[in-house]
A = this chain, B = another copy of it.
Amino acid sequence: MATKRVMVLTGGGDCPGLNAVIRGIVKRASLEKDWEVIGCIESFNGVLREPTEIVVLDEKSVAGLLVEGGTILGTTNKGGPFAWPIKNHDGTWTTVDRSDEMIRKLQYMGVDAVINIGGDGSQRISLALSQKGLNIVGVPKTIDNDLSLTDYTFGFQTAVQICTEAIDKLVTTAASHNRVFILEVMGRDAGWIALHSAIAGGADVCLIPEIPYDIEKVKEKIEARYTNRRGFCNIVIAEGAKPIGGEVVGKASTEVGYQHIRLGGVAEKLAADLKNIGVEHDIRYTLLGHLQRGGIPTAYDRILATEFGVRAFEFVKEGRFGEMVAYRHPEIIGVPLAEAVSKPNLVTPDNRLLHTAKGLGIVFGD
A residues at B contact (CB < 8 Å): 13-14, 18, 23-24, 27-28, 30-31, 64, 66-71, 74-76, 151, 157, 160-166, 168-173, 175-178, 181, 196-197, 199-202, 230, 261, 263-264, 284-287, 289-291, 293-296, 298-300, 302-303, 306-307, 310-311, 313-314, 329-332, 352-353, 355-356, 359-361
Contact A302 B74 (CB under 8 A): no
Contact A290 B173 (CB under 8 A): yes
Contact A310 B359 (CB under 8 A): yes
* A168 with B284, Cβ < 8 A, contacts A264-B264, A299-B160, A302-B199 known: no
Q: How many copies does the complex hold?
A: 4
Contact B27 A172 (CB under 8 A): no
Q: How far is the CB of A87 from chain B (nearest CB, A)?
A: 14
Q: How far is the CB of A351 from chain B (nearest CB, A)?
A: 8
By beta carbon, the residue of chain B nearest A196 is B303
16 contacts between A and B (CB under 8 A): A14-B177, A69-B173, A162-B169, A164-B299, A168-B294, A172-B294, A196-B299, A199-B306, A199-B307, A200-B300, A201-B299, A286-B289, A303-B353, A307-B352, A310-B360, A331-B352
Contact A69 B169 (CB under 8 A): yes
Residues of B within 8 A of A171 (CB): 64, 70, 294
Please measure, in the bound complex, the distance between the C-alpha atom of A299 and the C-alpha atom of B203, giving whole angstroms: 13
Contact B69 A202 (CB under 8 A): no
For A163, A289, A300, the residue with the greatest tally of chain B CB atoms inside 10 Å of its CB is A300
Contact A295 B177 (CB under 8 A): no
Please measure, in the bound complex, the distance between the C-alpha atom of A289 and the C-alpha atom of B184, giving whole angstroms: 13
Residues of B within 8 A of A202 (CB): 23, 66
Contact B170 A291 (CB under 8 A): yes
Q: How far is the CB of A366 from chain B (nearest CB, A)?
A: 16
Contact B69 A310 (CB under 8 A): no
Residues of B within 8 A of A71 (CB): 176
Which 10 pairs of residues, A with B, have the shortest CB-CB distance? A70-B172, A169-B294, A69-B172, A70-B176, A200-B299, A169-B295, A164-B299, A329-B329, A310-B359, A200-B302
Please measure, in the bound complex, the distance between the C-alpha atom of A169 and the C-alpha atom of B168, giving whole angstroms: 17
Q: How far is the CB of A25 from chain B (nearest CB, A)?
A: 10
* A66 with B331, Cβ < 8 A, contacts A169-B291, A291-B166, A359-B314 known: no
* A151 with B299, Cβ < 8 A, contacts A69-B172, A200-B66, A307-B352 known: no
Please measure, in the bound complex, the distance between the C-alpha atom of A76 and the C-alpha atom of B172, giving whole angstroms: 14
Contact A291 B299 (CB under 8 A): no
Contact B359 A28 (CB under 8 A): yes
Please measure, in the bound complex, the distance between the C-alpha atom of A173 and the C-alpha atom of B173, giving whole angstroms: 27
* A291 with B302, Cβ < 8 A, contacts A177-B76, A359-B310 known: no
Given A261-B284, A287-B287, 4 extra CB contacts under 8 A: A64-B171, A70-B176, A168-B296, A307-B352
Contact B314 A170 (CB under 8 A): no
Contact of A310 among B75, B261, B306, B356 (CB under 8 A): B356
Contact of A67 among B166, B168, B196 (CB under 8 A): B168
Please measure, in the bound complex, the distance between the C-alpha atom of A69 and the C-alpha atom of B67, giving whole angstroms: 12
* A14 with B176, Cβ < 8 A, contacts A69-B169, A352-B332, A356-B306 known: yes
